[in-house]
Amino acid sequence: MAQPLLCLPHLSSHPPRPAPGRPPRIVAVRPASPYPRTCLLALAVAVAAACVGSGSGSNPNNQPPEFSATGLTLSASVLMPEGSVTVSSQATDPDGDPLTYTWAEATGGGTFEAAATGDACTWHAPSAEGVYEVRVTARDPAGHTAVLASTVEVTTTLHVPSESYPTIQSALDAAQTGMTVAVAAGIYTEDLTVKEAVHLQGAGAATTVVHGTGTDAVLAPEFSSAAGIIVEGLTLEGGSTGVDVSAAADFTLRDCVVRDNSTSGIALFSAPARIENCRITGNSGNGIEIRSSAATVQGCVIADNAGYGVEITTSGATLRFTTIADNVGAGIRIYQSNATLRDSIVAANDLLNFNAVTLLGASGVSIANAQPLLSHLLLFHNQLNIDATQVNGDAVVVDGSYVTGDGGELSGNGDPLLADDGSYTLGASSPALTLATGGGELGAYGGGFAPPLAP
């Protein structure tokens, strides 16, 4: 009669465990055993499974680490060559085990900080431009791992439009100090804010147009570091203001057109700035408004604006080689400022303005409580070429200039004989070619030189 299959309940439910650090016992199946071989074999398997399963590091149910949905976080997605970025990750272990992290650069180039085993690390970019993959591995005590990777672009130039930067603002938001944002020809409807010292470069003002939304400035630099912002080769139009610069350090606007904005073309407030070789036209307020700023305006045309051509208040501004013409108000208004005007033309600023007492013509240069220096200028065909009030003694210096027109003239009444093309350049026989004190020419361009960015 066959013996019944008998397994020991106390052994199967509470299998023996080896002492910590000791190998499991080997169970030998002897023929003389009173239990069937099948029962002893089952007992051996149970003991072995219990021994192997002891400890979290060898638990067959152990699960690998898991990264959070935020994935790998970088403090910047684009870097200058040899720049640095902080990379961090968030991972958890379902079993509650502690995790260690290993950082690596998968595509070659760049270095992580030595002995980085935490969940954040700094990666130092190489000098060569390119796209690099950074990778982190989270590991639990059982050796299970999870790997996460992301890319970093190392470059000096961001291109618009592109897959990464469909708008100018998206590129400006990503750009680091010292980078160039290169904008291809086209029309871009957006308002721009610049918060880093970058070079914003269009393909040329004739073909690269930024049309504002009408509610804010088309371009508003917001930067106060010693480094500079350079903007060039753009047309900025259709905003409340074309360019609004407040407390930005070392701002340069070059080879641009600022036109058809609902208030001023350019407003500078407490901002050292340079406006070079630009056309500021057709704005509903002043062409350029300069307040408490050490600004330089050079080689520009400021025309057909509904307010003053240039208004200078409490500023040590300098204007050179500039034509200010056909504006509704004064060509230049100077108030409480030690401004310097050199080698420029102020012409045909002639709309009449009414008040309760008198009828006043718009002046070429309006001076109030100020001490400017006017040198090598042409002032003509303005309702009043120089209108000075609250000025004592020799506070206003007019040196080597040719002033003529209908009223308010200081010297001369002849025709300056400009070129016939409306550019305000001097003709070959102009008396202004030789009237300057100490020799030289008057006005902005001299004989035959064209104004900047001719329309």
CA distances from 336 to 109, 332, 373 (A): 58, 13, 13
Whether residues 263 and 116 share a domain: the answer is: no
CA–chain centroid gap for 28, Å, is 78
Which pLDDT score is estimated for 47? 41
Strand order of the sheet with strand 235-237?
186-189, 208-211, 235-237, 257-259, 279-281, 301-303, 323-325, 345-347, 378-380, 402-403
- Per-residue pLDDT band for 293 (boundaries 50, 70, 90) equals confident
User: What is the CATH number for 344?
Assistant: 2.160.20.10
Whether residues 267 and 303 share a domain: the answer is: yes
Which pLDDT score is estimated for 115? 57
Whether residues 91 and 123 share a domain: the answer is: yes
Backbone phi and psi for residue 247, each to the nearest 5 degrees, phi listed first: 60, 30
- Per-residue pLDDT band for 162 (boundaries 50, 70, 90) equals very high
Whether residues 110 and 247 share a domain: the answer is: no
Whether residues 178 and 141 share a domain: the answer is: no
Which pLDDT score is estimated for 70? 83
For 51-55, 127-131, 195-199, 207-211, which range has the lowest pLDDT when averaged over its residues? 51-55
Whether residues 204 and 263 share a domain: the answer is: yes
Domain's final residue, options 106, 125, 154? 154
Whether residues 261 and 296 share a domain: the answer is: yes
In the chain, how many domains are there?
A: 2
- Residues 294/270, Cβ–Cβ less than 8 Å: no
Whether residues 112 and 261 share a domain: the answer is: no
Residue 347 included in any domain? yes
Query: What is the Cα–Cα distance from 324 to 300, expressed in whole angstroms?
Result: 8
- Residues 399/437, Cβ–Cβ less than 8 Å: yes
Backbone phi and psi for residue 42, each to the nearest 5 degrees, phi listed first: -60, -40
Q: In the structure, how many helices (H) and strands (E) does the chain have?
A: 3, 42
- pLDDT tens, position by position, 18-65: 555 555 554 444 545 555 555 444 444 444 444 443 444 457 788 999
Whether residues 183 and 292 share a domain: the answer is: yes
- Residues 132/104, Cβ–Cβ less than 8 Å: no
What does the mean pLDDT of the chain come to?
Answer: 74
Query: What is the Cα–Cα distance from 334 to 369, expressed in whole angstroms?
Result: 8
Query: What is the Cα–Cα distance from 301 to 319, expressed in whole angstroms?
Result: 11
Residue 455 included in any domain? no
Rounded to the nearest 10°, the torsion over CA 173, 174, 180, 183 is: -70
Residue 41 included in any domain? no
Residues 110-135: what's their mean pLDDT? 85
- pLDDT tens, position by position, 52-103: 434 444 577 889 999 988 888 999 989 999 999 999 988 999 999 999 998 8
- Per-residue pLDDT band for 273 (boundaries 50, 70, 90) equals very high
Whether residues 294 and 209 share a domain: the answer is: yes
Residue 178 included in any domain? yes
Query: What is the Cα–Cα distance from 225 to 230, expressed in whole angstroms?
Result: 13
Domain's final residue, options 101, 125, 154? 154
Query: What is the Cα–Cα distance from 72 to 137, expressed in whole angstroms?
Result: 11
Residue 5 included in any domain? no
**How many C-beta atoms lie closer than 10 Å to residue 265's C-beta?**
32
- Residues 262/211, Cβ–Cβ less than 8 Å: no
- Per-residue pLDDT band for 211 (boundaries 50, 70, 90) equals very high
User: What is the CATH number for 109?
Assistant: 2.60.40.10
- Residues 300/318, Cβ–Cβ less than 8 Å: no
Range of the domain at 335: 163-353+360-376
- pLDDT tens, position by position, 126-156: 999 999 999 999 999 999 999 999 899 999 9
Which pLDDT score is estimated for 342? 78
Residue 346: closest CA among 363, 370, 369: 363
Whether residues 146 and 171 share a domain: the answer is: no
Whether residues 81 and 115 share a domain: the answer is: yes
Domain's final residue, options 102, 131, 154? 154
- Amino acid, res. 68: S
Residue 243: closest CA among 279, 294, 292, 197: 279
- Residues 308/285, Cβ–Cβ less than 8 Å: no
pTM of the model: 0.71
Which pLDDT score is estimated for 455? 41
- Residues 275/297, Cβ–Cβ less than 8 Å: yes
Which residues does 28 contact at the CB level (< 8 Å), separation at least 6?
Answer: none
Query: What is the Cα–Cα distance from 279 to 449, expressed in whole angstroms?
Result: 16
Backbone phi and psi for residue 241, each to the nearest 5 degrees, phi listed first: -135, 145
Residue 302 included in any domain? yes
Residue 52 included in any domain? no
Residue 188 included in any domain? yes
In this structure, the strands spanning 345-347 and 378-380 are: parallel
